[in-house]
Amino acid sequence: MPSYWSSSPYRHLRVSPDNQLIVTDDFLRTYLERPELALIPESCAAERALHQRLLENPRAEISEAEIVQMQDADIQVNYGIWLRYRAKLLKATSLENFYMSLFEGEGVDVPPLFITQLTQVFLQHILGEDAAPLELRMAELFFRTQAISIQEGGVVMAADAQTIERSAKADQFGSIVDLLKQGTMASQSVDLDVLHEENASNYWERNEDFDFAVQLNYSQPTTRSFCSVLQKWIHHFLGVDVKIKPLKEVSDPNWVWHVGLDASSTEILNALYNKESVDEPDMARLLCLFRLEFINSTDTRPEFAGRNVYMAIAMNEKNELKLKPQNLLFNLPLAKSS
């Protein structure tokens, strides 16, 4: 297994011959260790008995009567949510099949926390043992909210939002927070915890700290690494080979398809495509543009053969980037056979 993100439950999954992830009992047990279900000193006898039963057999059938016997109303709700989630997990042929099914119905009825965890698991599987540090840091954008700062000269910096919030609450403004408050990059260096090609190896010793800032501008190696992760994400789930490159602007008179990688960029791209007016503050929220090309023309609909797909990421009104990686899996102009 890859030697990073060791707290991820990925190591408890089984890999099928066709490279899909299969749920195991040990994987199910990891949910019982989470704060939402873990025992506490105040846990009643009924809760302790149920918890022990599930540890011994994570697939055991649990009745509604067993749940309501527990004294804590909140833990009753938590178990109800998890058991419904478990039922869907076990029904699916693979974890990938389960993930795709989440977004095909009328709405996602799984806690966002679970989806975020699965996203990290998939990325660990997709990137594998040979993952590069810059790829891993950019993969964090898929499952961790980023705080965005636009600095002097249009330099776009991203840092983990939870890390910044945790530092602020502890009243210990570390170098990332200081960096995001700066108005210039003149003092950028390794000691400011900005990850770049020269210090990328430092990621390994801090891979679960999520405390590296990165620059997201068009010409940066980090942006190209982000494209690499996007390509691998698409290939794993859809079996489609694409080439994705950063763009400075979209000047294509034959612009026929686009995909926003988050809610904000989707809204802005839709408006631009429909030739609607987009005010300056909204345009300023666009962080990066990308062009996607299908390597094999048979993977896209015939009417879109040879055409590009344009993509973007944008920060929201709170200056945060919240990626929706599932957009890439459901919003491409794929041929029906793909």
The domain containing residue 147 runs over which residues?
Answer: 132-338
Q: In what order do the strands lie in the sheet with 146-151?
A: 214-215, 155-160, 146-151, 320-321
Does residue 224 sit within a domain? yes
Q: Which tokens hold the place of 76?
A: 């009753």
Same domain for 191 and 336?
A: yes
**Number of domains the chain contains:** 2
- Listed as own residue / partner, the contacts of 197-200 with beta carbons closer than 8 Å and 24 or more positions apart are 197/134, 197/221, 200/132, 200/133, 200/134
Same domain, 32 and 162: no
- Predicted TM-score (pTM) of this structure: 0.91
Say yes or no: 107 and 172 in one domain. no
Residues 18, 164, single domain; the answer is no
Tens digit of each residue's pLDDT (9 = 90 or more) over 104-152: 876 678 889 999 999 999 999 999 999 999 999 999 999 999 999 998 8
**Residue 88 sits in the same domain as residue 232:** no
Tell me, yes or no, whether 189 lies in a domain: yes
Sign of CA dihedral 80, 162, 143, 7: negative
Whether residue 140 is found in the same domain as residue 277:
yes
Q: Bridge-partner residues for 334, per DSSP?
A: 300
The answer to the question of residue 89 being in a domain is yes
Nearest to 23 by CA among 102, 91, 81, 101: 91
Tell me phi and psi for residue 117, to 5 degrees: -65, -40
If pLDDT is split at 50, 70 and 90, which confidence band does 180 have?
low
How many angstroms separate the CA atoms of 199 and 189, rounded?
Answer: 10
**One domain for residues 231 and 329:** yes
CB–CB of 257/310 below 8 Å?
A: yes
Find the distance separating the first CA and the last CA of the chain, reported in whole Å. Answer: 30
> Pick from 127, 156, 174: which residue ends a domain?
127
The closest alpha carbon to 144, from 132, 133, 158, belongs to 158
Q: Is the pLDDT of residue 186 over 50?
A: no
4 lies in a domain? no
- Of 77, 103, 127, the residue that ends a domain is 127
The strand pairing partners of 215, in sequence order, are 157
d(CA 203, CA 12): 24
DSSP annotation of 213 reads B
Same domain, 317 and 209: yes
Does residue 3 fall inside a structural domain? Answer: no
315 belongs to a structural domain: yes
| Token pair 């400075």: residue | 248
Same domain, 117 and 141: no
Residues 159 and 99 in one domain: no
Residue 122 in domain: yes
Backbone angles phi, psi at 313, to 5 degrees: -125, 150
Are residue 248 and residue 289 in the same domain, yes or no?
Answer: yes
Q: Is residue 2 part of a domain?
A: no
Q: Which of 127, 157, 192 is the last residue of a domain?
A: 127
pLDDT tens by residue, 261-280: 999 999 999 999 998 999 99
Same domain, 141 and 25: no
pLDDT, tens digit (0-9, with 9 covering 90-100), for 48-75:
999 999 999 999 999 999 999 999 999 9
Distances (CA, A) of 236 to 65, 96, 160, 209, 276: 41, 9, 26, 27, 35
Tens-digit pLDDT profile for residues 206-259: 999 999 999 999 999 999 999 999 999 999 999 999 999 999 988 888 899 999
